Amino acid sequence: MQLQGKRIVGSRVRQTKGKTRVAGLMSGTSADGIDVAIVDITRQKVKLAAFDTFPYPPALRRQILRLCRPESARLDDICHYNFVLGEVFAEAVIKLCSRSSIALSSIDLIGSHGQTIYHNPRGKRYGPRTVRSTLQTGEPSVIAHRTGITTVADFRPRDMAAGGQGAPLVPYADYILLGHKRLTRAVQNIGGIANVTFLPGGCNQSNIIAFDTGPGNMVIDGIIRLVTAGKQRFDRGGKMAARGDVDRRLLSKLLRHPFLRRRPPKSTGREEFGAAFAEQLYRRTASEGITDADVAATVTAFTAKSIARAYRQFLPAMPDEVILCGGGAHNRTLVEMLQNELPEVKMLSTDNFGISVDAKEAVSFAILAWATIKGMTNNVPGATGADQPVILGKIIPV
Amino acid sequence: MQLQGKRIVGSRVRQTKGKTRVAGLMSGTSADGIDVAIVDITRQKVKLAAFDTFPYPPALRRQILRLCRPESARLDDICHYNFVLGEVFAEAVIKLCSRSSIALSSIDLIGSHGQTIYHNPRGKRYGPRTVRSTLQTGEPSVIAHRTGITTVADFRPRDMAAGGQGAPLVPYADYILLGHKRLTRAVQNIGGIANVTFLPGGCNQSNIIAFDTGPGNMVIDGIIRLVTAGKQRFDRGGKMAARGDVDRRLLSKLLRHPFLRRRPPKSTGREEFGAAFAEQLYRRTASEGITDADVAATVTAFTAKSIARAYRQFLPAMPDEVILCGGGAHNRTLVEMLQNELPEVKMLSTDNFGISVDAKEAVSFAILAWATIKGMTNNVPGATGADQPVILGKIIPV
């Protein structure tokens, strides 16, 4: 019996000596730009071959942010910019190849997260059922056509069809990259929000836990922008925080935030720790005469303490190793504070495993695409709440 | 070397003794409801196993029509109803199986056109390039998950990425279903608009021509609704037209419509032959005292003559056989008129080939999905204007 479908994916997604070269594309909700990572995946290892970030042109970024709000998003714009973003994503892959002297034709597969313009994980009623939904843009047919590379995209809808929240998806990549037979590990991403993937020793897809621990860089960045009147967008290397002292009274007040007490699975965002939170906090510290450096130290400690407390309260065991990634891994003051809070763990970063902390998210979507093409289920029900493991994504064959 | 991707599509899209059972799903721009066809495809033949139409609930239809207009479409509704339609499409497949005693598990593959909510084939500028775009709803991840069947959907974007208009897509199915080694055939669809696929004897994908010939049932239906004050929506069997006489003067005026003179590739729609056209025509015939039956006969002759003229003017050769499909194939007066206009051709319908004229479009999307899974290019550049043959669609594996 000749199996169908062989030709479509089989003949086009090559695997040279067991190695698959995959490009991963990611653009976050802040719509700053496109992260592109190119990795070589074998059964044993994921090796980063190239990485770069391609900022969106300012006019395009403004347009994307308009697409994200029901009040300003227009049908014709959604349709148009979905295809425009497909072009821009394809160009980013082509540019990275050119910059890093990688032949485009050596890439076997692309995994694209896309640009989320709407996400409704709680769902809305339709008749007797609650329908969850999500909408990513960056037309993958355009990416596949322009690059000539089979593309996997739109990973979130299938998990939502299976009753999940469609997020987080990165824990699967954490499991593939960093799951260990014996050691228990926590992969701690510190982006705007901080989130942890808990990988027990000898873990499998069914005993992984992942949730948001609370603020990552968001409150720190917000405060730095305010105290520098916008001259600095973040505390490079944690230098300002290093000059200050933590205000114990303010810190203990911050740590009473109700999100920190909520049991996982849980997720948070700008609604809770965004610009409004930072502004309110800054007004208070200014009126109380707390110095800028002390405020910076205190909000940095807030992130470190909220991560450490989440581990003690909600993880089934303290990990042997914590592996950091995301921009917060560059903040030395934050990392030191976290190590002080968790003296019993070994503090590492994905750099120690050959994946730069900035590239990690784009790498994750390369890994997700690779799993989809392999026919492997690649959601983590313990992270998304889905009622079963499913294969995520849509395959655009070339 | 173990090829990747085998498992994903190969093991799940079965082929029992060379037979693939595929469900095709179609909903047109009028958003009346969902056509579902189940076919058994072998290398030799496509056999229709079941067909039915599932009207949308009126509230859902109104909502869909709201989604189609930039003035009334909201981002959150687009996101939500994309998933709702996925549910409704999946239910339609499940219901048809139940009604026709076909085991859902016997279906190997689903091909879903989706519900188009926006289509911009001419494109819009972005920087130096013109970006064509289209937006179909009816989330295929939901269809795949609910049915447990690998689904191929969203066929139009890839053709547009390749420089095509993303339409028409049905000519590929005409070619697979009705292409003949020796005979030259024209597949004449008579829906609201009439369109022809010209299949020269021994044709291949590169010498097929397809274009809209002009009005199909749209003007006839519009007139019938007006003369019956909405009591009839169409001229069942062409009975009213059969009672009337063609008004020669009016007919020759209608035939001067500029669309009929334009050279293919060309397409038309409601903008040219919709309600406004029928109303203007009806006002004129009423004022001139032409009887209702005579008007019905005249607009029926308009459709027949415009098809026949398009053949003589724009086809490279007169076909040996004309194979009718679409609702207009039920209009006996129209079919007789067309045969009179084209006395040299043999007039058949897809019924003669085992595919009911109503099921033909849904069957076409089953065939398109089958070709995608086989890794076969399935656009017709001579119909869409694409600069190359490409594999259409996105594959959602289960």
Interchain CB distance below 8 Å, B375 and A69 = no
Tokens of B269: 């729609």
Q: Is B389 on the interface with A (CB under 8 A)?
A: no
For A171, A213, A251, A265, B90, the CA distances from A262, given in Å and listed in that order, are 20, 10, 19, 9, 37
What integer pLDDT is reported at residue B270 of this predicted model? 85
Q: Is B43 on the interface with A (CB under 8 A)?
A: no
For A297, A303, B242, the CA distances from A282, given in Å and listed in that order, are 13, 16, 83
Instruction: Give the other-Cβ count within 10 Å of B52's Cβ.
Output: 18
Q: Which residue from A34, A156, A47 is spatially nearest to B83, judged by alpha carbons?
A: A156
Scan residues 84-103 of A and list those with Cβ closer than 8 Å to B: 84, 86-87
The CATH code of domain B6-167+359-396 reads 3.30.420.40
Note whether B391 and B376 are within 8 A (CB). Answer: yes
What integer pLDDT is reported at residue A270 of this predicted model? 85
- pLDDT at position B11 over 80: no
Scan residues 132-161 of A and list those with Cβ closer than 8 Å to B: 132-135, 139-142, 144-146, 154, 157-158, 160-161
- Chain B's closest residue to A151, CA to CA, is B394
Q: What whole-number distance in Å separates Cα of residue A307 and Cα of residue A140?
A: 36
Per DSSP, the three-state class of B28 is: coil
What integer pLDDT is reported at residue B269 of this predicted model? 87
Per DSSP, the three-state class of A167 is: coil
Scan residues 269-328 of B and list those with Cβ closer than 8 Å to A: none
Q: What whole-number distance in Å separates Cα of residue B301 and Cα of residue B335?
A: 10
* List of residues 6+ apart from A302 with CB closer than 8 A: A215, A219, A251, A254, A255
Q: What are the tens digits of pLDDT across the range B37-90?
A: 999 999 889 999 999 999 999 999 999 999 999 999 999 999 999 999 999 999
Side chain identity, residue A36 = V
User: Best interface-test mutation with B: which of A141, A143, A160 has the largest number of B CBs within 10 A?
Assistant: A141
Note whether B214 and B310 are within 8 A (CB). Answer: yes
- Chain A's closest residue to B144, CA to CA, is A158
Measured between alpha carbons, how far apart are the two ends of chain A, in Å? 25
Residue A262, CB-side half-sphere exposure with 13 Å CA sphere: 12
Q: What whole-number distance in Å separates Cα of residue B366 and Cα of residue B13?
A: 13
Q: What whole-number distance in Å separates Cα of residue A258 and Cα of residue A255?
A: 8
Interchain CB distance below 8 Å, B145 and A161 = yes
> For residue B370, with 0-12 CB atoms within 10 Å meaning exposed, 13-18 middle and 19 or more buried, which class applies?
buried
User: Best interface-test mutation with A: which of B13, B43, B60, B79 has the largest number of A CBs within 10 A?
Assistant: B79
CATH class for the region spanning A173-353? alpha beta
Q: What whole-number distance in Å separates Cα of residue B266 and Cα of residue B385?
A: 10
The CA distance from A286 to the nearest CA of chain B, in Å, is 39
Interchain CB distance below 8 Å, A372 and B8 = yes
Query: Pick from B15, B118, B396: which is nearest to A4 by CB?
Result: B15
**For range B231-253, the mean pLDDT:** 97
Q: What are the tens digits of pLDDT across the range A344-391?
A: 999 999 999 999 999 999 999 999 999 999 999 999 999 999 999 999
Q: What whole-number distance in Å separates Cα of residue A40 and Cα of residue A22?
A: 6
What integer pLDDT is reported at residue A8 of this predicted model? 38
- pLDDT at position A4 over 50: no
Domain boundaries defined on chain A: 6-167+359-396, 173-353
Q: What whole-number distance in Å separates Cα of residue B325 and Cα of residue B329?
A: 6
What integer pLDDT is reported at residue B267 of this predicted model? 86
Q: Which residue from B174, B198, B90, B107 is spatially nearest to B360, judged by alpha carbons?
A: B174
Beta strands in A32-180 (DSSP E): 33-41, 46-55, 109-112, 115-126, 129-137, 151-153
Residue A107, CB-side half-sphere exposure with 13 Å CA sphere: 34
Interchain CB distance below 8 Å, A131 and B83 = yes
Query: Pick from B8, B132, B375: which is nearest to A374 by CB?
Result: B8
**Mean pLDDT across chain B, nearest whole number?**
94
Tokens of B39: 């076919």
Same fold, B6-167+359-396 and B173-353: yes
Interchain CB distance below 8 Å, A76 and B118 = yes
Tokens of B101: 């005693």
The CA distance from A122 to the nearest CA of chain B, in Å, is 11
Q: What are the tens digits of pLDDT across the range B16-49?
A: 668 999 999 999 888 889 999 999 999 889 999 9
The pTM for the full model equals 0.93
What integer pLDDT is reported at residue A6 of this predicted model? 34
The interface pTM score, or ipTM, of the predicted complex is 0.92
Interchain CB distance below 8 Å, B126 and A84 = yes
Q: Which residue from B240, B383, B241 is spatially nearest to B303, judged by alpha carbons?
A: B241
Which residues of chain B make contact with A129, given a CB cutoff of 8 A?
87
Interchain CB distance below 8 Å, A374 and B4 = yes
Q: What whole-number distance in Å separates Cα of residue A135 and Cα of residue A91?
A: 22
Query: What residue has token string 């390369």?
Result: A366
Per DSSP, the three-state class of B34 is: strand
